[in-house]
Structure 1
Amino acid sequence: MAVQEATSCSESKEKTNSCCSSNQSLEQSCCSDNEIDFTPKDEVVEYRIYGMDCPSCGLTIEKGLRKLEHIKDVKVNYNTAKLQLVRQDGANMIGVEDEVQKFGFRIKPLKQIEDVKEYLIEGMDCGSCAKSIENHLNTIEGVNSVIVNFSTGKMKVEHDNSVDEIILQVSKIGFKASLLSKASPSPKPAKNKEGTTIIITSGLLIALGMMGAFAEVSFYLTTLLYATAMVISGYKPVKSAYYSIKSRSLDMNVLMSAAAIGAALIGEWVEGAMVVWLFALGTTLQNISLEKTRNSIRNLMNLSPSEAWVKEGSQLVKKIVENVSIGEVIIVKPGDKIPLDGEILKGESSINQAPITGESIPVDKEVGDTVYAGTINENGSLEVRVTKIVEDTAIAKIIHLVEEAQEQRAPTQDFIDKFANVYTPFVFILALLTMVFPPIVGLGTWDDWFYRGLELLVVACPCALVISTPVAIVSAIGNAAKNGVLIKGGTFLEKSGAINAIAFDKTGTLTEGKPKVSEVKALNMPEEEFLSIALTLESYSAHPIAQTIVNYATEKGITSKEGELFKNLVGKGIQATLDGVTYYAGNARLFEEMNLPLGEAQTIVQEMQQKGRTVVIISNQQEMLGIISVADTVRPSTVQALSGLKKVGVHQVVMLTGDNEGTAKMISKEASVSRYFAELLPEDKVDVIKKLQNEGHKVAMVGDGINDAPALASADLGIAMGGAGTDTAMETADIVLMADNLEKLPHTIKLSQKVLKIIKQNIWFSIIVKLIALILIFPGLLTLWLAVLSDTGAAVLVILNALRLLKVESDNQ
């Protein structure tokens, strides 16, 4: 394993107030701290923007937002990461969020707009459904803006009219809407029994019609059976198609309805009946499959119990969690789920934190430790003081962030949607030309080319292609959340799949971040006696290393001696008098200044320092008594995690540290990193990230989300550790490992690579099926019902392929 010599990045460079390397003037509007002017009738709205790494990012956002209607003025402050804008009455604020996300940034309103309500939409099986709902609601008076997310099955509407009116309008276009509340943001949709009944009834009618045709039953009777089946199965899509056309949408309901009605007009009743029946069947199968992906978040919602046992004096009172306040004491019995985040006041137990952190092994907790809502109390009764209300618990924030992540569009999805917006009208126009042009020039009969045109209408529906990406993204984000990894959106999921180099902060990331005694060397006395003197001296020092030695000796059962005249020697050590003899504990510099020769201890000290350890020397005025070495230890999971990363194709594993050469070299060998860079200041870490990027690597940075913020922002992907305990990490990084370890990082990279692979498979499969269908139309080898089957069947197969991502397991499970 080649280990690079320590690289210093302290070359002189011109500093700016941003993390940009360019000397960009901070007087641009994107860094302006001035408040914007507005009139009383205007409204000022503020947002927090995540992901900006230099002032020019703010300038880009400003330019983009100024193009929107009703937005009078925009200011982006890079230093505070705030967007401030003035809108006129009725401006589309949801459109603002969508526009900022297009530039690759995340945005969150600092104050939620009161008129925006969220609804659950049932029955959507394709992105075109979402577009049709949007277009229809935008024609309704009182609706200011609407965004429907097909992936999560949710709709955000800014409206002045009643909730009932919105639900009614959604039902008109063929879908079911229900208002979401804060207490239940992800309810489970009801089973569609009506849809199942329709499929079975119309299917039986078609089967009876076919049997009648073989038995040479009256033509009128079989036609009546087919026509009845068409009405039963086709009523809903035709109704939806009517409102789609009215709102100028060209969705699959329009295409399928036109194909079915056209087939009936030319006397192909069996074809028309099969079209609507297969369409209904395919839609139902798609909905069932899609619900499995959306359930990944609903399952998270079910982790936390809805009620808690609250201690009131000597009584236990059961309350719903929404009514429990901060400071109240709850009782958690063995085997129960913990209802709210809190601090243990009494009791000890093993807590299964897998729902939050993905850890497979329960964690021992005692008085003073933090516990999280949704985790399981394995054994022992606990008294817990509530520290967060239900909306602010770790699990609530995870659910909220995961839902936001699933709503964000990945770059591939944007591209596919743009392609579909061109493809569908193009093939629709081609279908109309196919119906009219060949018969006019005498190339065939009207019926023959009209039928082929109907087939083209069905093929014009890009359902499988449009859902190829979002279903995979939603499945993967749900899988990651279940395994204790919070991925902030499809963009970051795609990025992590392309990562081939990862830089780690050393302290607290690769290592424990807490020094431990690594070696004790007593000279000319028993080790217990030596440790007793060391314990006595270091007990009066507030230095972290001194505390480490005290903890080590205490765990060994060592007792301290009687001491007096303790004196703290700042930067060097401590001295005290024991039984009339003066003793010293400190670094080599202390003994140099006191002219006390180290003697035989000199060699031992040098050997320990070469291993990158911090050395504490114990002595009296006559002789050296011994040496204690202290070192930050590599996490038990580090070596396994880094080995796992190399297995998934990340061959450049780099360590960044501010420590000296010796310590960096030792840790790099223990952790088996590819390269290390030592003696770095925070800004130097940014230079190392850029150096790796200039070498052609796609670089991820792993840190604590706070101290390493500049490097996290500069990397292609920022990954923070320990998100369960720190709100800052959950807010700042692109990906958060909820547990304070690296075990889930290889799983995250493997999952992301699998996502990219499945998205490519889905896209190519969808395109190839469409091409085959198009090719088979003109020789007359494709029937109308086969065209429908190829469309709905391909969509179901694409969804099932994406569902495999829900079953990708971590190697350490």
Structure 2
Amino acid sequence: MSCCTETKSSGYQQQATVMTQSGQISKNFIRFQWRVQGMDCPSCASKIENAVKTLEGVISVRVAFATERLIVLADKQTNVKIAVIQAVKKAGFTLAGTAKNQADTKQEGMPQGVFARFGNLLAFTMMVLMAVIASKVTPAYSSFLFTLATLWGMIPIARKASGLIRAGSPFAIETLMVIAATGALVLGETAEAAMVLLLFMVGEHLEAFAAGRARQGVQKLMALTPDTALKINADGSQNEVLAESLLPGDVIEVWPGQRLAVDASLSGRTASFDESALTGESVPVEHEQGSRVLAGALLVDKVSRFIVLSKPGENAVDRIIRLIEEAEQSKAPIERFIDRFSRWYTPAMIILAALIAVVPPLLMGQSWNAWVYKALALLLISCPCALVISTPAAVTSALAAASRRGALVKGGAALEQLGRVTHMAFDKTGTLTEGKPIVTGVYAFSGDEAFVITRAAAVETGSTHPLAGAIIDFANERQVVIPTASHRETMTGLGVKGDVMGQSVVVGTPRHLMEAVKTVSGAEAILTGFEQEGCSIAVITVDGELTGLIALKDTLRKGGKQSIDQLNAMGIKSIMLSGDNPLAVAAIAGELDMDYRAGLMPEEKSSAIMSLTRQGSVVAMVGDGINDAPALKLADVGIAMGEGSDVALETADCALTHNRLEELPGLISLSKATLFTIRQNVTFAIGLKALFLVTSLLGYTGLWVAILADTGATAIVTANALRLLRHKG
């Protein structure tokens, strides 16, 4: 594997029809992936994207700051690999190889070891120190030594600034530093020029350290899954293979103390797993045969075999990382505003600095040296680094903290909205309840109980609805033969129908089939009795005649009551939206002490969400099924249960990966803390710059303080954002 990953087994090399930037049609494209070194803040990611996106053959480029990955989609017919490496290098960054591939890393000019990272800073520090000593011993030579040190230290900064200008980033801090240092030399402030560069270099390393801390949560996730696995071949032999080469259906063996590299089902009877890295639960969880175990889980007790379930690159940890990367593309409204603000702010400040440098001397006869010096200080103070990083640093830290707790948030916009939620709507089955109902009663009006069960199970076969699964399980427990149904059709929100042994069978809700229920004496009373017990009812008709009723009951999800109580305490009103019958819904709503609306079709759930939003409420919707997708999309924030349908997960803004409702109050609390941190950071960044802008123009502070104001503010707002990694909720 080279420093650039072309992972064929994981689907990174793809073939399709796409439009290249030159407007030509290409049927072959390839996906490259590198790890980027040297990114201190999210603005670095945009610099790299600007440098790469104009290269010939590049179809799309994305830099994920949280995971330090550069992902390039390129035309397979062009050799863009070397061009990308060179473009990134010119922009002042490096593409890092893997530990397995030091040869490739060295060949492509990538720095190795501590000296490569800090050598330039150490050398420059020594040169400045020598100049300082000379100023005390032989003052005549100190100016020359400071100038020499400044020129030497400015070379790599000027080279990076030049590369960024060519790549479309003309107003980077590197450009401002070169202008300020050059101006200081021209004014004869050689010592100050050297010290400003030294403070800038130290600040860059501090920012890099802070950025690394901000990414720690995501990097720990990335390290959860091993690179290799022990595969069991068809002939019983074993061999160690790359995890990315495993396909669904493969059999692997895991030893105690090892983590699962993929999502897999347990082949043996039982096994215990430490899932604390994924769920935060310190107590090992016991899984039974056939149960799904997520990648990253640590096997505790005994050697076990598993059947691979996830495709390459699509295990639980991969999905979390991908969602975090995608979340960076969905910025919070305040972050989008700051991005727009910074685009005109820096050029405007450069123009203002130029006016300050020339207007007073030309029109008022003031000293050129004094006003040019003030203009240079203004340039350094005007750098928007602290302001630009104030929001993404907080958002990245919050996303990492949320993911460690089993909650995925798809971007800053959703994170910001969560902190403003006033109403939280819940689906019932699979969300507030376990979604694993059991049959508690069967009443036959014609034929016997077995007749009712077999007809219902026949048309429900193949359905993913929890109630359908419960009916089929009950039929299997009774060991009845389930006939084959033809012409099966799902009626969304109503039930299913099909032909069984020449008869038309419908399994539906009481609301849908109430006319049939009313035709049989006593049937309505029996139905009401089941519903008063909190049961969901499936009504079965054969050729339009009522045949039987099946009562099913679900259990409340663990932690549900506690979560609703905590939300109520936070001033967030909870409401249950369910398609189930009013009596069953009322029974569960009463246990949870929340409002409810029952008997809702999918479109009626959406209408209920719209009604709340029209009243000025900020609404979050929590659901798990396909029927919940429209409501999830309409809500201000859609939250999907992690084991819900793919449609619900794709539609939602957030996902509870481990189906723990207990994470909801903590997620709201984290969002509020993030908004507060962002406000703190923005206020501090703007306030500090405004203060030193005034003092610099009045002549009280100079270049040293200006660069300290910039790098210091950046380090402080980043450190403040890092506190969110430890947020408890």
Q: What's the TM-score once normalised by structure 1's chain length?
A: 0.71
- Give 1:144 deviation, angstroms: 6.5
Q: Look up the match of 2:94.
A: 176
- For 1:470 and 1:360, locate their aligned partners in 2 and report how far apart those are by CA, in whole Å: 31
SS of alignment partner, residue 267 of structure 2: strand
Structure 2 CA distance for partners of 1:177 and 1:143, relative to 1, 3 Å:
same
Q: Among residues 454, 458, 474, which one is paired with 2:380 in the alignment?
A: 458
Q: Find the aligned partners of 1:404 and 1:333 in 2 and give their Cα distance.
A: 34
Match of 2:559 among 637, 644, 647: 637
For 2:242, the equivalent position in structure 1 comes to 320
- Could you tell me which residue of structure 1 aligns to residue 22 of structure 2? 90
The equivalent of 1:305 in structure 2 is 226
- Which residue identity does 2:706 align to in structure 1? A
Write the distance in 2 (CA, Å) between the matches of 1:328 and 1:247. 46
Taking the aligned partners of 1:711 and 1:255, their CA distance within structure 2 comes to 49
Distance in 2 between residues matched to 1:141 and 1:297, nearest whole Å: 32
Matching of residues 472-551 of structure 1 within 5 Å = 472-515=394-437, 541-542=453-454
For residues 469 and 92 of structure 1, what CA distance do their matches in structure 2 show? 38
> Does the CA contact (< 8 Å) of 1:729 and 1:736 recur in 2?
no
Q: Deviations over 1:72-91 (max 9, x none)?
A: xxxxxxxxxxxx99857614
Deviates more, 1:496-505 or 1:159-168: 159-168
Q: CA deviation at 1:794?
A: 0.4
Q: Closer, same or farther in 2 for the Cα pair 1:118/1:443, shift >3 Å? A: farther
CA distance in 2 between partners of 1:422 and 1:282 (Å): 24
The question of whether the paired residues in 2 share the 8 Å contact of 1:167 and 1:178 is answered with: no
DSSP-derived class of the 1:635 partner: coil
C-alpha separation between the residues in 2 aligned to 1:791 and 1:130?
A: 20
Structure 1 residues 743, 789: closer, same or farther in 2, change over 3 A?
A: same
Correspondences of 1:33-112 after superposition (within 5 Å): 87=19, 90-91=22-23
Show the counterpart of 2:323: 401
CA 485–790 in structure 1, closer or farther in 2 if over 3 Å, else same: same
**Separation in 2, partners of 1:145, 1:597:** 63
| Paired AA for residue 122 in structure 1 | Q
Change in 2 beyond 3 A, CA 1:152/1:233: farther
**Alpha carbon RMSD of aligned pairs, Å?**
4.1
What is the CA-CA distance between 1:301 and the residue it aligns to?
1.8
1:125 aligns with 2:40: yes
1:676 to 596, 599, 605: 596
Q: Give the equivalent residue in structure 2 for 1:779.
A: 698
The answer to whether 1:163 aligns with 2:71 is: no
Distance verdict in 2 for CA 1:193–1:750, change over 3 Å: farther
| C-alpha separation in 2, matches of 1:242 and 1:703 | 51
Contact 2:356 2:375 in 1 (8 A): yes
Q: 3-state DSSP class of the match of 2:436?
A: strand
Partner of 1:279: 200
State the Cα distance separating 1:131 from its structure 2 match: 4.7
Structure 1 residue 178: Cα displacement = 4.5
Measured after TM superposition, the shift of residue 703 of structure 1 is: 0.7
Give the structure 1 partner of residue 464 of structure 2.
none
Matches within 5 A, 1:92-491: 114=29, 117-137=32-52, 146=61, 148=63, 152-157=67-72, 160-178=78-96, 193-213=115-135, 215=136, 217-246=137-166, 249-312=170-233, 313-491=235-413
> 1:419 offset after TM fit, Å?
0.5
Deviations 1:273-313 (A, max 9, x none): 11100100001110111122233332222111122222233
**Aligned with 1:734 (options 653, 657, 668):** 653
Given the superposition, is the C-alpha separation of residues 472 and 148 from structure 1 closer, same or farther in structure 2, using an over 3 Å criterion?
same
Deviating more after overlay: 111-120 vs 738-747: 111-120
CA contact (8 A) 1:255 1:460 kept: no
Q: Which residue does the alignment assign to 2:580?
A: 659
Q: 1:163, CA displacement in angstroms?
A: 1.9
Q: Which residue of 1 aligns with 2:610?
A: 690
Residue 391 of structure 1: how far off its partner (Å): 2.0
Unaligned runs of 5+ in 2: 1-15, 442-447, 458-466, 481-494, 496-514, 539-549
| Residues 113 and 539 of structure 1: CA distance in aligned 2, closer, same or farther (over 3 Å) | same
User: What's the secondary structure of 1:379's corresponding residue?
Assistant: coil
**Structure whose CA Rg is larger:** 1
Q: 1:745 to 1:386 in 2, by over 3 A?
A: same
1:167–1:210: structure 2 CA closer, same or farther, 3 Å change rule? same
Q: Matched residues in 2 for 1:236 and 1:754: separation?
A: 39
Q: Shift in Å at residue 668 of structure 1?
A: 1.1
AA partner of residue 124 (structure 1):
M
Distance of aligned partners of 1:645 and 1:383 in 2 relative to their CA distance in 1, 3 Å threshold: same
* Greater Cα offset, 641-650 or 240-249: 240-249
Change (3 A) 1:306 1:680: same
Deviation at 1:487, TM superposition (A): 1.4
**Per-residue CA distance 1:106-159 (angstroms, 9 max, x = gap):** xxxxx9972564443322334554454455556766666655555554444566
Question: Residue by residue, what CA displacement relative to the aligned partner does 1:654-689 show, whole Å, maximum 9, x if unpaired?
Answer: 11122333222221110111x211221111111111
Does the CA-based 8 Å contact 1:304-1:374 persist in structure 2?
Answer: yes
Local SS of the residue matching 2:373: helix
Of the candidates 684, 689, 712, which is equivalent to residue 793 of structure 1?
A: 712
User: Is contact 1:198-1:232 (8 Å) kept?
Assistant: no
User: Take 1:200 and 1:318, find their aligned partners in 2: how far apart are those partners?
Assistant: 44
Cα gap change, 1:89 to 1:691, in 2 (>3 Å): closer
Contact 1:682 1:710 in 2 (8 A): yes
Give the equivalent residue in structure 2 for 1:37: none
* Partners of 2:236 and 2:361 in 1: CA distance: 90
What does the per-residue CA deviation read over 1:724-774, in whole Å, with 9 as the maximum and x for residues that have no partner?
x75444323211111133121112211122221111111111110110111
Cα distance in 2 between the residues matched to 1:339 and 1:85: 32
The question of whether the paired residues in 2 share the 8 Å contact of 1:656 and 1:685 is answered with yes
What's the secondary structure of 2:202's corresponding residue?
A: helix
Q: Equivalent residue of 1:391, what SS?
A: coil
User: Secondary structure of the residue that 1:263 maps to in structure 2?
Assistant: helix
Compared CA separation, residues 735 and 176, structure 1 to 2 (3 A): same
Secondary structure of residue in 2 paired with 1:512:
coil
**2:273 alignment partner, SS class:** strand
Cα distance in structure 1, aligned partners of 2:470 and 2:72: 57
Contact 2:183/2:376 (8 A) holds in 1: yes
Q: Which is richer in helix? A: 2
Shift of 1:795: 0.5
Cα pair distance change 1:329/1:772, threshold 3 Å? same
Q: What does the per-residue CA deviation read over 1:563-605, in whole Å, with 9 as the maximum and x for residues that have no partner?
A: 9xxxxxxx9xxxxxxxxxxxxxxxxx9999999999xxx9x99
What amino acid does structure 1 have at the position aligned with 2:89? S
Cα distance in structure 1, aligned partners of 2:264 and 2:559: 27
2:394 match: secondary structure:
helix
Give the partner amino acid of 2:188: G
- Label 1:245 to 1:746 Cα distance change in 2 as closer, same or farther (>3 A): same
Q: Distance in 2 between matches of 1:179 and 1:198?
A: 21
Write the distance in 1 (CA, Å) between the matches of 2:94 and 2:598.
59
Change over 3 Å in CA distance of 1:539–1:799 after alignment to 2: farther
Q: Report the secondary structure of 1:368's partner residue.
A: coil
Distance in 2 (CA, whole Å) between partners of 1:410 and 1:242 is 31
Mark the CA change 1:299 to 1:595 in structure 2 (over 3 Å): closer, same or farther: closer
In 2 relative to 1, CA 517–328 (structure 1 residues): closer, same or farther, beyond 3 Å?
closer
Seq. identity, %: 36
The 3 A distance-change label for structure 1 pair 648 and 157 is: same
Corresponding position of 2:498: none
